[in-house]
Copies of this chain bind each other. A is one copy, B any other.
Amino acid sequence: MGRKRLQEPADGRPTVHTVAARAGVSIASASRVLNGVGGSPETIRKVREAAAEVGYVPNAIARSLQSQRTGLVALAVEDIGNPVYVEMMRAIEAVVASSGRQLLVHATGGRIDNETALLRRLANRYVDGMIVSPIRVTDDHLTALVDSPVPVVVVGQLGADAPIDNVRTDSRHGVALAVDHLVATGRRRIGFVNGPLDTVPGAARDAGFRAALAGHGIPLDAALIEVGDFQYAAGRAATERLLARADPDALVCANDLIAVGALHALLVAGRRVPQDVALVGMDDTELARMMFPQLSSVSLGSAERGRRAAELLLQRIADATLPPRREQVPPNLVVRASSAATVPAPRPAAGPPTTHPSSEGVTA
């Protein structure tokens, strides 16, 4: 007969065989006791003791191979530094952790190839499921998502007929909320600093801005629209370009990072916020509250979307036969100092300019 399997691996780390041998029982009994299912009191005692003595800790990989699940869930977002994704991530992590799983975070940099490569590697079964928030979507991309061997939930807009669990918001409407608010407080020369138009959110926000302006009968002035990417530096640069050629009395920004960049550019240019230019960001991240003046921002419920996406994913992991579901989180506007109606009246001509410390402290 051939020699039995090694009881003690060269590694030195104990396996269930080590424990079983030491306890004088079979590996099956040892495994049962360690999993808390069955076993006589005597067996339980012996196995527990042996396990404690050798410091046994089960090998999760072997277990996964057997059980066909890893307890890992992946999240793929464009930019891990964007506070909106941090908030989403926190919400997802809370749900995922409460189900005893761990979260694997991936930054795609918005590059599609990166994301499809990730999808493909996903097929190798290392994660039980995935949440992805793509900012660009192609057909290839879509079929990769649909064909994924593990459950996928998408956060963001998706073709209407795609059979994929999906939680979205309505950022078109979100931009409209911002514009409505600015118009209501007397602003008319409303500028817009957007992200790339070839992204899903960029396109949606552009459409929303144009529609909202049209809804108020305000003619579109191309000089008041500027495009960068969704980062701080680009937002600042784009705003500088815009200010060089136009004179807005309000600025809508496609996310909070851009808004912070815009704020910086405005203050450097000597404009007072909100007296000279009202400013509204989007995503309502912690960053908006950190600024001085605090930024108004359109909340797109990122934490809520993350939470729901995680729940959808967990449900689908539990039951793969569920029909594709779609959930929607409504946007809502949070008004803060950066777009407050100016003190005496919305008219920029009247009123003492100085009551607010922000103006003097900031425009040195």
Q: Nearest 9 pairs between A and B by C-beta?
A: A60-B124, A81-B86, A57-B123, A105-B105, A270-B357, A267-B292, A60-B126, A272-B361, A61-B64
Interface size class of A (residues with CB under 8 A): 35 or more
How many copies of this kind of chain does the complex include? 2
Task: Known A89-B80, A105-B103; judge A125-B61 contact (CB<8 A).
Answer: yes
* A64 to B105 CA separation, bound complex (whole angstroms): 20
Out of B105, B124, B270, which one reaches A59, CB within 8 Å?
B124
Whole-angstrom CA separation of A11 from B64 in the bound complex: 15
CA distance A58 to B267 in the complex (A): 56
In this complex, which of A87, A120, A271, A364 has the most chain B Cβ atoms within 10 angstroms of its Cβ?
A: A364
State whether the Cβ of A286 lies closer than 8 Å to any Cβ in chain B. Answer: yes
B260 adjacent to A290 (CB under 8 Å) = yes
Nearest residue in B to A125 (C-beta to C-beta)? B59
Whether A360 sits at the interface, judged by CB under 8 Å, is yes
- Over the window 286-316 of chain A, the binary record of Cβ atoms lying under 8 Å from chain B Cβ atoms (1 yes, 0 no) is 1000111100000000000000000000000
Q: Is A136 interfacial (CB 8 A cutoff)?
A: no
Judge if A322 is at the interface, Cβ distance under 8 Å.
Answer: no
Known: A90-B80, A102-B104, A149-B13. A292 touches B272 (CB 8 A): no
Point out the residues of chain B lying under 8 angstroms from A11, CB to CB.
68
On whether the beta carbons of A86 and B80 are closer than 8 Å, the reply is yes
Interface residues of A (CB under 8 A from B): 11, 13, 57-62, 64-65, 68, 70, 72, 80-81, 83, 86-87, 89-90, 93, 102-107, 120, 123-126, 149, 232, 260-261, 263-264, 267-273, 275, 286, 290-293, 357-358, 360-362, 364
Tell me, rounded to whole Å, the shortest Cβ–Cβ distance linking A344 to chain B. 14
On whether the beta carbons of B272 and A364 are closer than 8 Å, the reply is yes
| Contact A357 to B292, CB < 8 A, known contacts A90-B80, A124-B57 | no
Assess whether A268 is in contact with B59, with CB atoms less than 8 Å apart: no
Provide the bound-state CA to CA distance between A272 and B360, in Å.
8
A-B contact pairs, 8 of them (CB 8 A): A60-B126, A61-B125, A80-B86, A81-B286, A86-B86, A264-B291, A292-B292, A292-B362
* Across-interface contacts of A106 in B (CB, < 8 A): 102-103
Task: Please measure, in the bound complex, the distance between the C-alpha atom of A11 and the C-alpha atom of B271, giving whole angstroms.
Answer: 63
Are B81 and A107 interface neighbours, CB within 8 A?
Answer: no
